[in-house]
Amino acid sequence: MDWTNGFIEIDGASLEYACFGAAPGDAPTLVMLHEGLGSVAQWRDLPQQLADRTGFGVLAYSRAGYGQSSAAALPRPLDYQTREAVDVLGPLLDAAGVQDCVLLGHSDGATIAAIYAGSVSDMRVRGLILIAPHFFTEAGGLAAIAATKTAYETGDLKQKLAKYHARPDNAYYGWHDIWTHPDYAAWNVADCIDHWRIPVLAVQGTDDPYGTMAQIDEIDGRIYSPLETLVLDGVGHAPHREATEQTVAAITEFCARLKRMEEAEVELA
């Protein structure tokens, strides 16, 4: 896998990826996992900003069904986020030659990162950055997702998504239909928090229509490792776009602290 951009075959899917900054072996890697309707392109210039500010390399990829990646099989299974964590993320890190990394996820991507850190023994993962994570469903969030169907089928949401996704129907219905499935209301993966043993930065907007501070409170009540939180008043579901400087500054400082911790451990050894 070239440390530039292109496609890679993982778990039977062709996944688009893009890399920024230092290659693995030269610096730690920030691995970016996008939201439920996201893709590589929808991170905009954030990967480059983070590479410049942190000195880390950055790897972003589009999951199957998103961006320019191959289609996902629909309907998605109820445990699709766990399957993504267990079946795809580890092999992707292997293929990229990642040696030390921080997983940075937004929304669904944050949940996938959280599940990976709590269920896979991978010493390469040194920290988690979770932006608007989901560990369980909330009635308000489910209602907000259900309400997007009108915007997609009669409004301009499909046109907007088509700018970024080769198969907008595959992306949208793969996300919408599983979250609005009657059985999905009972979905809960919060037990992954119990198994984290690495530092965590959690970022949440107070006006997020898809999730409340209950998600962050769940982390705080269960975590055994260091936790930092950035709570942004008046900010919605995308703090990295709505409060970019505050979010990037918090990520940069978190990564700097991790690096200092790693260097101190080396010196003590």
Summarised one tens digit per residue, pLDDT across range 140-194 is: 999 999 999 999 999 999 999 999 999 999 999 999 999 999 999 999 999 999 9
The confidence score (pLDDT) of residue 85 equals: 98
Does pLDDT of 266 surpass 90? no
Among 33, 35, 233, CA closest to 129: 33
Global model pTM greater than 0.85: yes
Among 259, 236, 257, CA closest to 131: 236
pLDDT tens-digit profile of 202-230? 999 999 999 999 999 999 999 999 999 99
Q: Is the peptide bond before 75 cis (omega within 30 degrees of 0)?
A: yes
pLDDT tens-digit profile of 11-46? 899 999 999 999 999 999 999 999 999 999 999 999
The confidence score (pLDDT) of residue 192 equals: 98
Amino acid 103 reads L
pLDDT range class, residue 1, cuts 50, 70, 90: confident
Overall number of domains in the chain: 1
The boundaries of the domain holding residue 209 are: 5-268
The confidence score (pLDDT) of residue 267 equals: 53
In contact, 132 and 110? CB cutoff 8 Å: yes
Give the domain CATH number at 163.
Answer: 3.40.50.1820
